[in-house]
Amino acid sequence: MKKTVTLFRIALVLTCAISTNTSFAQDDVSELIKSSPADATKLTAAYLSPLFKGFGIGLNSGWNNTAATRGIGRFEVRVSASGAIVPTSGKNYDVTKLGLSSQISVASGGNIAPTVGGSSTASTPVINVKSGSGTVLESFSLPQGAGLPLIPAPQVQASVGLPRSIDVTLRLMPKLKLGDAGEIGMIGGGVKVDLLRVLSKTTDKIAPFSVAVGIGYTTFDYSLGLNVPVPNGAVPKDVSQVKDFTTQQISAKFSGTSFEAIISKKLLFFTPFLSVGYMSAKTEVGLKGNYPIVTDGVAVGATVVKQYSSFTDPISIKQTDISGLNTTVGFKMNLLILRIFGSYSIGEYNSVNAGIGLGIGK
């Protein structure tokens, strides 16, 4: 007897994986694998799409807040956070346009369901899971949204000035174990070149502004070991089914690449800037290892004995979430060694970024 995956559980696990601010429950994770892997993957990708896009934008944000580069050996360390604004178009999805199998049908509630960025109070469609003969095996409601107005993402980075008007930036979050919440890690690097200073020191002094180009790349990794047991009362479908389920885990990798041209003008301690660039972001999220999934049932008298099949890496999402131009306007304030900065970006998802830093020298 095939059952459906509880998408709310997937959303809970992956949202927590990204924001790392909520505890995980093994019971929640155990509900992930109760449907066909293909349908579960499509529904999960649609529901979590704003989360993937917003986090990808966050990885590409906050690289630069001025076109001017630092003097040789001068450095700055800063911490910031981005918030990608979920647009109206990202708050819902049409279940019938996901290419689900013929076993899945909408029973009631219409075809439009909220994404994780949608309403947390609206009613959601009810889905039927059918057998090959058309018998309804299970019914479930799609998850409500989390009502997220912003998708947050952190940036922790250090920059240093090199010869020939070049800045090099490192983003690093060593692998951190979060107890029962899993393990996270982030690494990235960026380079910025002040074009006017490279061309000529005279040009740099004459021009009323600074112009630079920059590139950045960041990856964020997450993993969580799982222990999804064989469903109660279930037996292997046949002798070929794998019985080792000790390698189960959630694995996620988010990566972002950005290119931008920046222009800025220093006005005493205040520096406004404008940048135009291109960014891309990719997501790879999956359940790794072997999982027992109930796929059939055999009637023994008045009782149905569940039979499970073993599936390896049953859910896998690999996609490009962001690919396009964006424009950013913002500022940087130098107050002795304290740096304060903020910006607003316009793109597929608009976003804000703000933070503080400590630096020495120009």
pLDDT tens for the chain, 362 residues: list them. Answer: 333 334 444 444 444 444 433 333 344 344 445 567 888 788 888 888 998 899 899 999 999 999 999 889 999 999 998 999 999 999 999 999 999 888 788 888 889 999 888 888 888 888 887 766 666 666 777 888 888 778 888 888 999 999 989 999 999 888 878 777 778 888 999 999 999 888 766 665 677 889 999 999 999 998 888 888 887 788 888 888 888 888 888 888 999 999 999 999 989 899 999 999 999 999 998 889 998 877 777 777 777 777 788 889 988 899 999 999 999 999 999 988 999 999 999 999 999 999 999 987 66
Both tokens of 301, joined, read: 């008298």
In a domain, 2, yes or no: no
How many distinct structural domains can be found in the chain? 1
Domain of 216, in residue numbers: 7-360
Return the SS3 of 224. Answer: strand
In a domain, 1, yes or no: no
In a domain, 126, yes or no: yes
In a domain, 259, yes or no: yes
In a domain, 203, yes or no: yes
Q: Which residue has the tokens 């819902």?
A: 92
CA proximity to 52, closest of 120, 115, 137: 115
List all residues 6 or more positions away from 160 whose beta carbon is below 8 Å from its beta carbon: 70, 73, 74, 75, 167, 168
List all residues 6 or more positions away from 255 whose beta carbon is below 8 Å from its beta carbon: 56, 59, 217, 218, 219, 220, 281, 282
pLDDT of residue 344: 97
pLDDT of residue 323: 94
